[in-house]
Amino acid sequence: MAFEDLKAELALLINQMENQPEDRHELYMQIREKLNEMRAFGMPVPEDLVRLEEELEAEFAAAQAPKKG
């Protein structure tokens, strides 16, 4: 898949995430998949998307962590 195609798909996924917060986890998984695909092909991965991926991963990990108290 061409780099420009992947960038366009990522932009669409991010737009969907903003418009459909109830599907946020599914969109995170799709973004993660596309970024991993870019990495596998040795394509440059935009730093802002890497930060977004890390932030979402931390958010979902915190939500799944057992609560103390």
In a domain, 47, yes or no: yes
pLDDT at 37: 92
In a domain, 54, yes or no: yes
pLDDT at 69: 60
Six-digit token pair at 5? 């195609």
pLDDT at 16: 78
pTM above threshold 0.75? no
pLDDT at 56: 87
Residues 6+ apart with CB under 8 A from 46: 7
In a domain, 68, yes or no: no
Domain extent at residue 58: 3-63
DSSP 65: S
Residue-wise pLDDT for 7-66, tens only, equals: 888 888 888 777 765 677 887 888 889 899 999 999 998 888 888 889 888 988 888 877
In a domain, 44, yes or no: yes
Q: Where are the beta strands (DSSP E) in 1-69?
A: none
Q: What's the structural domain count of the chain? A: 1
In a domain, 69, yes or no: no
Q: Are 63 and 28 in contact (CB under 8 A)?
A: no
Cα–Cα dist 39/35, whole Å: 6
